[in-house]
Amino acid sequence: MGFVVLHMEKAHGSDSGTTAHIERFIIPKNADPTRTHLNRRLIDYPDGVKDRSAAIQRRLEEAGLTRKIGSNQVRAIRINVSGTHEDMKRIEEEGRLDEWCADNLKYFADTFGKENIVAAHLHRDEETPHIHVTLVPIVKGERKRRKREEQTKKRYRKKPTDTVRLCADDIMTRLKLKSYQDTYAEAMAKYGLQRGIDGSKARHKSTQQYYRDIQKLSDDLKAEVVDLQQQKETAREELRRAKKEIQTEKLKGAATVAAANIAESVGSLFGSNKVKTLERENTALQNRIIELEEEARQRERQQAKQMQEMKSTYEQQNGKLSEFVNFVKCYFPYVEKLIPTINFLRDRLGFDDGIIRRLCTFKDVAIKGKLYSSEFNQSFETKRSICAIKENENGKFDFNIDGVPHVSWFRKKMSEFREAIGIPKPRQNRSIKL
């Protein structure tokens, strides 16, 4: 029986860095790009909200807060839920992952209020399936007085008990955090998961700390490669010097042999101690040369192995990216042809990601508001129009508004605008017959 994972962490500001990680605006190094399409957003954003940071801001604006939000005040709480790796894989293989997600959303909605859970994302492209839940800490009631304030004789006017406040500290007290661990484990018991050991010293490593560790390891490897390259150059220099020494020692050796022969001929007069000393020095030099050559070869082998490992890592990462691109082209061939239309909808018309995603399912989408025409450098308002992406006879995709191409729709709106302000329709050029 495995353990549940429930980690809560305060977030400051718009928390845009975490949003980029959760929404996969940037693919992290520990994620498998070929499985990113399996990730899901479990809570739909309201109209006009394009991402998690905007959802946090929308909740703060609509909560009815009476106090100004401080610059260093906690605006959201990051919640990460999962389970032991083997148990999460078992839940996934049994086809119960959707049920597990639904029970998680119900637990957090019942515990903190459905309106305060502004985002939830299921990640399946990392090693263990998990959910990122975003909680805006909106609470009701008078803020807690500090103990020293309670002991003073001053009397404060009691505030209404239903005052709406932004306060993460009320949610993340020590007793409440312990209670969340208990109740969450009870909710997940049906999946064979249980609470961790109460009072355990095990600590969660944040995503930021994980990436810092990875970056430090990468920097250390780069420094080690530079050091190996320097060692290789040093070894080469020593090898060149050793070769020169070998050549010099060969000449010295020849001279030593000649001197030894002479010494032997007059050994009875001068003795043989000096000859033996030269022979020992010559042997020591030869041994040193052999050691230097072996050290140089060993350094070259180590550097070659290091370079091969780096090359293999690069080829593996590049291979994963190529596999993902080929996967998209194979099973979603229309994606590449949709890119110009998507860029037009986002950059020219200013559509948010939610509308663009619905249009990319080739379904009709009703819109209202102002649409900008680059042809006329003017925006045209529509109270309700039906938009859709349709494939034309050439196999390309057109963006249609009210059943006609968007170019024709804008020209029709311009014609109606001119008629409304009394500008006559421009006449076509007519040739004069002679």
The 3-class secondary structure across 376-389, one letter per residue, is CCEEEEEEEEEEEE
Q: Give me the long-range contacts of 422-430 (CB less than 8 A, separation at least 24).
A: none
Task: Measure the CA–CA gap between 138 and 77, rounded to whole angstroms.
Answer: 11
Average pLDDT over residues 128-149: 80
Residue 214 phi/psi, 5-degree rounding, is -65, -45
Query: What pLDDT is stored for residue 114 in this prediction?
Result: 95
Answer yes or no: are the C-beta atoms of 335 and 328 closer than 8 Å: yes
Residue that has been written with the tokens 């001929």 in this structure = 265
Query: What pLDDT is stored for residue 269 in this prediction?
Result: 44
Report whether pLDDT(252) > 70.
no
Report whether pLDDT(152) > 60.
no
Average pLDDT over residues 37-55: 93
Residue 232 phi/psi, 5-degree rounding, is -65, -45
Q: 0.75 cut: is pTM over it?
A: no
How many Cβ atoms are within 10 Å of 433's Cβ, its own excluded? 4
Task: Measure the CA–CA gap between 425 and 131, rounded to whole angstroms.
Answer: 58
Q: Which of 29-33, 403-407, 425-429 has the lowest mean pLDDT?
A: 425-429
Q: How sure is the predictor about 258, in pLDDT bands with cuts at 50, 70 and 90?
A: low
Q: How sure is the predictor about 424, in pLDDT bands with cuts at 50, 70 and 90?
A: confident
Q: Which of 81-85, 418-422, 428-432 has the lowest mean pLDDT?
A: 428-432
Average pLDDT, the chain: 83
Report whether pLDDT(268) > 50.
no
Report whether pLDDT(201) > 60.
no
Q: How sure is the predictor about 217, in pLDDT bands with cuts at 50, 70 and 90?
A: low
Task: Measure the CA–CA gap between 201 and 333, rounded to whole angstroms.
Answer: 51
Q: Which of these, 48, 71, 44, lies nearest to 58 by C-alpha position?
A: 48
Question: For residue 31, what are the contacts with CB-CB under 8 A and spacing of at least 6?
Answer: 24, 123, 125, 126
Beta 2-12 vs 193-194: how paired, if at all? parallel
* Burial group, residue 224, by CB count within 10 angstroms (0-12, 13-18, 19+): exposed
Report whether pLDDT(272) > 90.
no
Q: Which of these, 344, 20, 7, lies nearest to 181 by C-alpha position?
A: 7
Average pLDDT over residues 293-320: 89
| 391-411: b (≥16 Cβ within 10 Å) or e | eeeeeebebbbeeeebeebbe
Side by side, which strands form the sheet with 378-391?
Answer: 365-373, 378-391, 397-401, 404-405
Query: What pLDDT is stored for residue 426 in this prediction?
Result: 65
Q: Which two tokens stand for residue 227?
A: 């050091």
What is the DSSP code (8-state) at residue 79?
A: E
Report whether pLDDT(341) > 60.
yes
Average pLDDT over residues 335-343: 89
Query: What pLDDT is stored for residue 323 in this prediction?
Result: 87
Task: Measure the CA–CA gap between 386 and 364, rounded to whole angstroms.
Answer: 6
Average pLDDT over residues 319-345: 86
pLDDT digits (tens, 9 = 90+) for 345-402: 998 888 999 999 999 998 999 999 999 998 899 999 999 999 999 988 888 899 999 9
Query: What pLDDT is stored for residue 319 in this prediction?
Result: 87
Average pLDDT over residues 131-140: 94
Report whether pLDDT(330) > 80.
yes
Q: How far is CA 45 from the centre of its chain?
A: 21
Task: Measure the CA–CA gap between 177 and 391, rounded to whole angstroms.
Answer: 54
Query: What pLDDT is stored for residue 29 in this prediction?
Result: 85
Report whether pLDDT(202) > 70.
no
Q: Which of 23-37, 217-231, 264-278 has the lowest mean pLDDT?
A: 264-278
Q: Which of 40-49, 160-169, 262-271, 424-433 has the highest mean pLDDT?
A: 40-49
Higher pLDDT, 159 or 358: 358
Answer yes or no: are the C-beta atoms of 10 and 87 closer than 8 Å: no
